[in-house]
Structure 1
Amino acid sequence: MTANSADTSSSIFRLSPLIRITLLGLYVALTTPLPFLSQVTAAPVPPVLLWVGIIIGFIGLYAALSERVIVDDQGIQLTYPQWVPRFFRKGWSLPWSQVKELKPRTTGQGGIVYYFLTHEGKAYLLPMRVVGFARLVKFVQQKTQVDTTDVYPLAQPWMYLILLFMTLLLLLVDGWTITTALAQGNIN
């Protein structure tokens, strides 16, 4: 099931770049000062070990944010690029004929997510952070005949824009922190 197959009605939905950039930026902003602070404070964890951990964490986060949703006449699937190990992020595939309904569930933060429920009682989370979510939902309704009029994305773009703005402010503070830490390290 790829967009280049003979099936002309297949589509690929990728994670929103706004979400990906915001979350990767937040990760960088939260972790980058740690090796510098470790060096200045003579912490028991060496900066090199922190850098290795930060890089591994960044790759893991990037892998988690590389999901793709592929829909066609047969079904819907959530996949990851081949370089992402299957033990890390497996993905799933669901034929349209198996979809019984979309079931809303409240999150711990008060939002609503939706699960595809199958005739066997299995549940698959509807990917809600993709570009073209409204088009994805229309595709789901066409193929399953499930009413999707009340299905909306979990987070609106303005929420991620605010988080991106705060991340940029945090990066400015990081710059100051790193500069101060390096100056402190030169004084000692």
Structure 2
Amino acid sequence: MNQPNLCEPVVFRVSPLIRITLLSLYVALTLPLPFLAEITAASIPAFAIAAGLPVGFVALYGALSERVEISETEIQLTYPRWVPKFFRRGWSLPWDDIQALKPRTTGQGGLVYYFLSSSGEAYLLPMRVAGFARLVRLVQQKTGLDTRDVVPLAQPWMYGILLVLTGILLIVDIGAIAMALSLAR
């Protein structure tokens, strides 16, 4: 197997399927809200809801803009400069500081993995990146840790199903918006 030359950092971004699915789901869940607020005379004005939706979209887009960079000396999680540090904070961990890769069960019964540093701090292994298998191979190569059992939390087919269901929800949204507009006349 060819050993990658890590003079240049290897960059892994969030999978496009995951990014498109989650951004589409946000739109599908929030798009009808201003229209529904208008016809139900909600206590929050429709224009305030409509003004807040792009802010939420940009925040979600920022959260989905994380990058994992692997170099000869370290692994790091970064975000674009436009993402405020208080919103999403990255991390950096030298390879020689990684002592273990520990699995933890999520509240929903899934399995995530944390890097444990020599100081005892835990860093979540990013699992939504495109090329996850390659990322795990590079982690094993650089740390010597056994990563054979490390698999992504969610498989691509799960996001595919969610994307199809989101498309159906968007179709329902169009109907709900059309109805709201006809009632508002």
Taking structure 2 as the reference length, what is the TM-score of the superposition? 0.95
CA distance in 2, matches of 1:50, 1:168: 22
CA distance in 1, matches of 2:72, 2:143: 10
Which residues of 2 match residues 60-99 of structure 1 at below 5 A?
Answer: 60-99=59-98
- Displacement of 1:43 after TM fit? 1.7
For these two proteins, the number of residue pairs brought into alignment is 181
- Displacement of 1:40 after TM fit? 1.3
Query: For structure 1, which segment, 43-52 or 145-154, has the greater mean C-alpha deviation from structure 2 after superposition?
Result: 43-52
Which residues of 2 match residues 154-165 of structure 1 at below 5 A?
Answer: 154-165=153-164
Question: What SS does the corresponding residue of 1:148 show, helix, strand or coil?
Answer: coil
- Displacement of 1:7 after TM fit? 5.3
CA distance in 2, matches of 1:112, 1:42: 44
CA distance in 2, matches of 1:10, 1:56: 32
RMSD: 1.2
Q: Does 1:10 align with 2:9?
A: yes
- Displacement of 1:84 after TM fit? 0.4
Deviations 1:25-73 (CA, angstroms, capped at 9, x unpaired): 1111111101001111222211110011111111111110100000011
Runs of 4+ in 1 over 6 A off after TM superposition: none
The answer as to whether partners of 2:7 and 2:72 remain within 8 angstroms in 1 is: no
Taking structure 1 as the reference length, what is the TM-score of the superposition? 0.94
CA distance in 2, matches of 1:83, 1:75: 23
Q: Paired residue for 1:144?
A: 143
Question: What SS does the corresponding residue of 2:146 show, helix, strand or coil?
Answer: coil
Q: Paired residue for 1:3?
A: none
Please list every run of 5 or more consecutive structure 2 residues that lacks an aligned counterpart in the other structure: none
Question: What SS does the corresponding residue of 1:114 show, helix, strand or coil?
Answer: strand
CA distance in 1, matches of 2:42, 2:29: 18
Please list every run of 5 or more consecutive structure 1 residues that lacks an aligned counterpart in the other structure: 1-5
